[in-house]
Each structure stands twice: as C-alpha cells, then as structure tokens.
Amino acid sequence: MEHSYAGETPGGLKTPMKRGLPQQVSQAIGIRILTGQYAPGDTLGDEPSLAQEFGVSRTVIREAVRVLISKGMLDVRPRIGMRVQEPRKWQILDHEVLEWKQAVPLADQHLSQLIELRLGIEPLAARLAASRRTQEDMSAIRKALQAMQDGAGRNSDYVMADAGFHAAVLRAAHNRYFDALENAIYAGLLLSIRITNPGKQQNLTSLPFHQSIADAIEAGEPETAQKEMERHLADSAARLERALAAIQSS
C-alpha cells in the first residue's frame, strides 16, 4: 500500500500530498471537523458562501461535500443543508481521514485509542507472521529494519522505515483483514512517534525491540514473536502516556 507525501512538518515528518481542488477543499473542511471547529450538528454555509470562502467553483464544493458524505462526516438534507455528523458515523479508518489527523494538534488526537488498536492487532499479526511468512516477506521486514538502522539519526527517514517495518509484519501474517487495517497502524505510528521518538537516542532505544521481533519471525517462533511485539508496544504506550501527561501539564 502506497502513501503519498510532500514536504515536512516542523517536527520533521512528511505531510500528506495535496491533490486536486475538491480533495484540498474536503481536506480543509475535514480538518475543521476533526478539530471541533465544526462541531457535530453544526451546519456549514451554503454552496455559494463556501465557494467564495475557498475561492473555487460551486462544482468543486459539491464534489468536496460528496467526499465528506462518503466518509460519514457530513449529511445533506433539504431545508437543513450540510450538517456535521456524530463522530461515531465517521469512517475514521479511511486513509484520507487518517492523513488529515496528522494536521490536527496533538492534544486533539486520539493517540491512546490508536495504541490500543495496535496492541489488539499487531501481536497476533507477529505471531501469524512467524508461521506464515515467506522469503519475500522476510526480505521486506529485514529491508525495513536496515532502513531504520541507517536512518536512526534522521527522524523523517526513521519514521518512514519504522512504519514500513510494521506494515511488512502485517502483510507477512497473510490475513486480508489485517491488510485493511494497515492505514490505521501506519497513521497511529506516525502520529505517536512524533512525541515518543523526538530524536536519535529514542530511535536507537527502539531498534532492539524491532530486531527481536524480526529474529523471532525469521526463526519461526510464534509465541516469541507475539511476546516481543507486545513488549515493544507496551514500551511505546508507556512513553506515549508520559509524553501526553507532560504536554497536558505544561
């Protein structure tokens, strides 16, 4: 699964690539919804006012709104207009919604919930990978691990390699339902690592966890692979909790 990025944030992470005008407008409105600028139940302006605000045609606005409707974020009804849906209706695992979340301030992110999702999925994926992995799978895991080692001093490179490692483990499980969660795992890692791994030292500390996971998968040891992934994610969760607490108290 490919992820398109262009440019970097001040923290060194690559940001989602801007696409056509409808996608740019849907992204802008989507981010406003995610940050609460548009709250559930709020109605947006009509097409002419939105077209004027964004400097685009009404056709572009209609296409952008259709995108947001498909993601469960907006509803359009006669005499009511465009209304923000309740969060439970949002397609939060949609790849674009997950990309938009990268632009949301960290205090507004549901990082702990994403870590919980990872804890529920990735240890089992590692266990299955140890039994099902092919030589091609193992090559992808080792390649990502090497890229992490090479990029430990460059945070943007390290983050992308780290995400590639976890994606490779998911694929090695050969479970199509896990494949569908790759975007969520990828986004969860990109979001959390912004505060858990601010520099080279944290990256170097994280590397042995990944090495142990790769070794267990290659050795065909399911229980060990699962335990090593659990150990790695528990460490990540603990560091994330401490970092979020520090942010909230500052």
Residues 23-37: pLDDT tens digits? 999 999 999 999 999
Return the pLDDT at 7: 36
Cα 220 from chain centroid (whole Å): 29
The token duo for 64 is 């952008």
The DSSP call for residue 20 is S
- 27 burial (CB, 10 Å; 0-12 / 13-18 / 19+) is buried
Return the pLDDT at 83: 96
Three-class SS state of 82: strand
Q: Which of 133, 105, 101 is nearest to 27 (CA)?
A: 101
Q: Thinking of the domain 105-249, which architecture would CATH place it in?
A: Up-down Bundle (1.20)
More confident call, 87 vs 190: 87
pLDDT at 13 over 60: no
pLDDT per position as a tens digit, 190-212:
777 777 888 788 889 999 999 99
Residues 55-64: what's their mean pLDDT? 95
Amino acid at 26: S
**How sure is the predictor about 15, in pLDDT bands with cuts at 50, 70 and 90?**
very low
Q: First CA to last CA across the chain, in angstroms?
A: 38
Return the pLDDT at 61: 96
Tokens 């990735």 correspond to what residue? 122
**Contact yes or no for 170/185 (Cβ under 8 A):** yes
Return the pLDDT at 29: 96
Return the pLDDT at 197: 81
pLDDT at 17 over 90: no
Q: Please write down the long-range contacts of 144-148, taking CB distance under 8 Å and 24 or more positions apart.
A: 144/168, 145/210, 145/211, 145/214, 148/203, 148/207, 148/210
Q: Any idea which fold 17-89 has?
A: Arc Repressor Mutant, subunit A (1.10.10)
Return the pLDDT at 129: 98
Three-class SS state of 43: strand
Residue spans per domain, the chain: 17-89, 105-249
Return the pLDDT at 106: 60
